[in-house]
Amino acid sequence: MNELKNNLKYFPILILPLGCIGVSSAFQVISIIIALLCYFKLNIKYDYKNFFANKNIKTSFVVFFIWTCCISIADIFAKDNIMEFSEGWHYFQRILPFFLVGLFSVNNDKFFKFFWYGICIILFLIDLNVFYNFYVQGNWRPITMFNSPNKLGGFIILVLPFFIAGFYKFFSVNTVKYIAVLIFLSTIASLFISGSRGALLGLLGGYLIAIAFTTCKKYGLKRFLFTSIVLSFLILLIFYLIYSINTQFVFRDYDVERVYLWQSTIKMILDYPIFGIGGGEFKHYYISDYISPFAKENLTSPHNIFLYFLVERGIVGGGTFILLFVTQLYILYKHLFDKNKIVNIWTVAGFVSVLGMGIHGMVDTQITMRTYSLMYWLLYGLACYGIVYEEQNNG
């Protein structure tokens, strides 16, 4: 009974990932209720003061707040309607898991262990969903719970770096390591079944850059260049092997359509540079005035997250999104190592995850999906608490 009471304070962070995969937002509510019970009834103290006092947390929130406000401002001016602020508010709501990580944080390594258990659970559920669609229904590139194979791939590479970090950190736990190996293998299989080239490139590219940067910071420029060349060769080899097995996985007939699409999108940005064309207006403008005479598909988005915000919200909304992305990468990059030159695995996982989103975002707009966005902010919050935790214990 005492052990259950002692571990109850970790249950909110265990449950929270379930509230960010589209199963039910009730899991977020349950996690909050458990945390309040622990705080007021069991007198359990959480580490939220150190989380919210940290300058990296404050900077992240300020830049995020500026971006969401700019989304609303751009929509209001583009559509000349004061009521067009709602989309910025929707993006603002999705940062809730970031704050909940801070409210639930415990200055103890078990906090990260229970979070990792939660990640294992959601990956298991995702893999079951993928395998059911693939093996039982016979669907290659299945839609699954995310309504798109590309969003499935994007979601997997968002979460997988944190799973790998926890696997490395807690591998010695005999009761879970064999299950974790199976989850890892099934998740990699799910990623390939999704057929998302952008997601695979985002994961490999994220790890390539993270490994190269950590090598540079610890061993210097020569080792950085050597590591970069070796890892680049390995990535090219992987894609060559995939190409040899299935040509369509690497190159597809509609790829040239993306080039026409991006060319048209850039023209739209140049014509509406400040506030953009307005949220949700891309399809209308593209088909009526900007579609290339060589294009065959009436696409509904630019299939590039940076072009998406630039074309629909101009420099005001798109520029601040790029600022947000760069700020997050910079914060995580600064803390890849603690003061003892030891790698902070949770920060590295966050760096790979954010970078993977950006690389995948060159060919997709997955962060506009509510479920993806909730998980994105949950994981970024965990990475930021990894910084806070290291500063407290190894500072």
- Give me the tens of pLDDT residue by residue for the chain, a chain 395 residues long: 566 667 889 999 999 999 998 777 789 999 999 999 988 888 888 999 999 999 999 999 999 999 999 999 999 988 877 767 788 888 999 999 999 999 999 999 999 999 999 999 999 999 999 988 887 766 777 878 888 888 899 999 999 999 999 988 887 666 677 888 899 999 999 998 887 888 888 988 888 888 888 877 666 666 667 766 776 777 777 766 765 666 655 555 666 778 888 999 999 999 999 999 988 889 888 888 888 887 776 777 898 999 999 999 999 999 999 999 999 999 999 998 877 778 899 999 999 999 999 999 998 888 989 999 999 999 999 999 999 999 888 75
Assess contact for 385 and 51: CB atoms under 8 A: yes
* pLDDT on residue 274: 95
* pTM exceeds 0.85 for this model: yes
- Pairwise CA distance, residues 44 & 10, whole Å: 11
* pLDDT on residue 357: 94
* pLDDT on residue 94: 92
* pLDDT on residue 87: 81
* pLDDT on residue 175: 67
Lookup: tokens for 17: 């990932």
